């Protein structure tokens, strides 16, 4: 349940930017409401008339006009993923191949390319997009391809990068970092797997259980 007192505190006293801290749900609501007020002022609007910020119930209290959102604040705007080192532990590097093996991997990435890169010249094949997702370095076109996929990918397909794409959590996190993706929905999802480096020792797999993704093996 949303803590309204915490939302109001975060709105009036925004926390300093810290790339190594996950924002709370209350902080995300406060940040979104501040952006709405700033946007209103930029276009010459009146926050009081529109019931924004301190003039709406979320921040101003129940005697103010009801605050209503057209989107979920935790899924809107831009967020930074936690540092890549937070995803560099054995369980996050573990990749499980799908039942259909390499063919299923390539079919899955071909569907992603058809969904999100249809208007691009030289659209990659499924195998090509899979290799791009596993790349440690991106060229201009590859960067654009990943950026566009993450900008539009549906959450169920984001999860399927692991189950059907044969990728590890680390590989997905690296692709998000390399493509400069800040889409809140994507970043919120990947951040749930982040573990501070000092706490990763308890998450080790036996050596024989770890391995590269099927994409790397097949490329």
Verify that 206 and 111 share a domain, yes or no.
yes
At residue 83, the 3 state secondary structure works out as coil
More confident of the two residues 86 and 122: 86
Verify that 19 and 99 share a domain, yes or no.
no
Question: Lowest-pLDDT range, 17-21, 75-79, 194-198, 205-209?
Answer: 205-209
Verify that 117 and 183 share a domain, yes or no.
yes
Verify that 66 and 88 share a domain, yes or no.
no
Work out whether the CA dihedral 195, 199, 200, 206 comes out positive or negative.
Answer: negative
DSSP 96-130: ---TTHHHHHHHHHHHHHHHHSTTSTTPPPHHHHH
Verify that 45 and 125 share a domain, yes or no.
no
Cα–Cα distance for residue pair 217/213, rounded to 1 Å = 7
**In the listed set 28, 52, 75, which residue is the last one of a domain according to the structure?**
75
Verify that 104 and 212 share a domain, yes or no.
yes
- Rounded percentage of the chain residues whose pLDDT exceeds 70: 92
**How confident is the model over 132-188, as pLDDT tens digits?**
999 999 888 999 999 999 999 999 999 999 999 999 999 999 999 999 999 988 998
**In the listed set 75, 110, 127, which residue is the last one of a domain according to the structure?**
75
Cα–Cα distance for residue pair 82/193, rounded to 1 Å = 10
pLDDT at 206 over 60: no
Verify that 37 and 137 share a domain, yes or no.
no
pLDDT at 208 over 60: no
Q: Are 189 and 155 in contact (CB under 8 A)?
A: yes
Verify that 107 and 202 share a domain, yes or no.
yes
Q: What is the pTM of this model?
A: 0.78
pLDDT grade, residue 18 (50/70/90)? confident
More confident of the two residues 47 and 16: 47
**In the listed set 75, 95, 112, which residue is the last one of a domain according to the structure?**
75
Verify that 110 and 21 share a domain, yes or no.
no
pLDDT at 218 over 60: no
Chain mean pLDDT for the chain: 88
Verify that 173 and 131 share a domain, yes or no.
yes
Verify that 146 and 179 share a domain, yes or no.
yes
Q: Are 49 and 4 in contact (CB under 8 A)?
A: no
Verify that 58 and 156 share a domain, yes or no.
no
More confident of the two residues 193 and 122: 193
Residue 146: per-residue pLDDT: 96
Domain count of the chain?
2
Mean pLDDT score, 32-49: 94
Structural domain including 162 reads: 84-218
More confident of the two residues 43 and 122: 43
**How confident is the model over 120-147, as pLDDT tens digits?**
888 999 999 999 999 999 888 999 999 9
């Amino acid at each position: 349940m949303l803590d309204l007192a915490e939302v109001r505190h975060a709105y009036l006293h925004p926390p300093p930017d810290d790339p190594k801290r996950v924002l709370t749900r209350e902080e995300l609501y406060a940040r979104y409401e501040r952006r709405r007020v700033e946007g209103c002022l930029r276009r010459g609007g009146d926050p009081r008339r529109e019931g924004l910020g301190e003039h709406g119930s979320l921040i101003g209290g129940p005697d103010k006009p009801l605050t209503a959102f057209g989107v979920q604040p935790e899924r809107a705007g831009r967020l930074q993923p936690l540092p890549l080192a937070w995803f560099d532990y054995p369980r996050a590097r573990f990749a499980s191949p799908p039942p259909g093996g390499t063919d299923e991997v390539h079919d899955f990435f071909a569907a992603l390319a058809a969904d999100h890169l249809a208007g691009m010249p030289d659209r990659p094949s499924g195998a090509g997009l899979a290799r791009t997702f596993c790349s440690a370095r991106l060229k201009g076109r590859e960067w654009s391809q990943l950026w566009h996929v993450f900008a539009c990918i549906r959450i169920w397909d984001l999860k399927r990068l692991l189950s059907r794409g044969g990728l590890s959590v680390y590989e997905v996190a690296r692709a998000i970092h390399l493509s400069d993706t800040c889409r809140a929905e994507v970043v919120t999802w990947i951040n749930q797997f982040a573990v501070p480096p000092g706490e990763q020792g308890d998450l080790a797999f036996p050596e024989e259980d770890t391995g590269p993704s099927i994409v790397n093996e097949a490329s």
